[in-house]
Amino acid sequence: MTAPLSAPLEISFDYTRSLGPVLAKFMTALADRRILGSRGSDGRVHVPPAEFDPVSFAPPAELIEVGPEGTVLTWSWTDHPVDGQPLDRPFAWALIRLDGADTGMLHAVDGGSAGQMRTGMRVRPRWAAQTSGQITDIECFEPATQPARQSAAEPAAAAAGQAVAAGQAVAGQVADGAADGAEPVTMIITPVRLGYQHTASTEESRYLRALQDGKIIGQRCPACQKVYVPPRGACPTDGVPTTTDVELPDHGIVTTFCVVNVPFQGQRVATPYVAASILLDGADIAFQHLILGCAPDEVRMGMRVRAVWRPPEDWGTTSENIDHFEPTGEPDAPYESYAHHL
């Protein structure tokens, strides 16, 4: 059996996050190259600050400056950093208790080699050349016994190790906790980018490969005998894969439709336009496509339509081979003939 189609898929999103009063002060201080912790009702100092006291659940009464040096509580060594981590060469992850704090803060230590790392070793932050009010303003920690090392010249990209722009902080209106003369940081943008190998199902792969040859392949469910296009890994009624191939014509009827008036990111057709459920002749399940080639207000339920294919030289294993559907001009199908498909 031919292997299913698969392709790399990269998804990304820049999360914009409001900081709230406690983390806003923490991030604002980071931009000023200072580290704050919160003193809890039990006297313990949390770094990063706890937004709510872990014992009393009240907002922290005070934030105090800690560090900048600290002690490694535990560490692990990684020889193969992954995308986005603070350093792109072998380094240690560590929980670091900053001087004046009672909890460990997770960060990277540029320790040279595992043999040079010790629990209990003293470290200090290496600040990014440009700070903006993010945890990555601390590029990493470094052994406190070493001569201070200059940060990389391109701080944002180096610190975050990301091809997309590293997180930026956004200054806002809340003045509470602002460092001397600095704009308070109230929001951060944290980019997330993930890579996958995306795989189509065996059934979808048959459909997509047939499209490359200009054919539309559906499949029949062995239990209910309905013809699905595209075919499916499981019939939603019977929970079994569709099996028998059925070649379908590229024409059918509009069962129902809507007129799209709302613009959105990535839209390829000028509004208003019609998105419709189209039931190909011989299929039992409708699928969605565009209706072009007539004014939106001419589209009707039961209207007969046919596929408009892109030029064959542009065909691939993709649904985009069919650019859209257009009216055939034949008489409409009677409502009773498609009522049970609605």
Tokens 């975050």 -> residue: 160
Specify the DSSP class assigned to residue 275: E
Query: DSSP H helical segments within 11-79, as ranges?
Result: 20-31
Report, in Å, the least distance between residue 334 CB and another protein. Answer: 26
CB of 119 to another protein, least distance (A): 6
Closest CB to another protein among 185 and 303? 185
Q: What is the smallest separation between the CB atom of 132 and another protein, expressed in angstroms?
A: 12
Residue holding tokens 């945890």?
A: 135
Please, which residue, 193 or 251, has the CB nearer to another protein?
193
Q: How many Å apart are CA 132 and CA 49, to the nearest integer?
A: 18
Nearer to another protein by C-beta: 95 or 292? 95
Report the alpha-carbon distance of residue 132 to residue 30 in Å, rounded: 8
Q: How far is the CB of 304 from another protein (least distance, A)?
A: 28
Beta bridge partners, 197, equal 8
Can you read off the two tokens belonging to residue 102? 């009672």
Backbone angles phi, psi at 66, to 5 degrees: -125, 170
> Rounded to an integer, what is the distance from CA 211 to the centroid of its chain?
29
Shortest separation between residue 293's beta carbon and another protein, angstroms? 31
Q: How far is the CB of 86 from another protein (least distance, A)?
A: 6
Q: What is the DSSP string of 204-259?
A: HHHHHHHHHTT-EEEEE-TTT-PEESS--SS-TTT-S---EEEEE-SEEEEEEEEE
Nearer to another protein, 19 or 279 (CB): 19
Nearer to another protein, 238 or 320 (CB): 238
Residue 230: asked if its preceding bond is cis (omega within 30°), the reply is yes
Query: Which of 226, 251 has the CB closer to another protein?
Result: 226
Residues near another protein (CB under 8 A) are 3-4, 9, 11, 15, 17, 19, 23, 26, 46-48, 50, 54, 73-79, 82-86, 93-95, 97, 103-108, 114, 119, 134-136, 160, 167, 188, 190, 192, 194-202, 204, 232-241
- Assign 45 to helix, strand or coil: strand
**In the bound complex, what is the minimum distance in angstroms from residue 227's beta carbon to another protein?**
16
Cα→Cα distances 146→37, 238, 306, Å = 26, 67, 73
In angstroms, give the least distance from the CB of 169 to another protein.
Answer: 11
Q: Which is nearer to another protein, 40 or 327 (CB)?
A: 40
What is the CA angle 228-309-253, rounded to 5? 45
The residue (of 213 and 238) whose beta carbon lies closer to another protein is 238
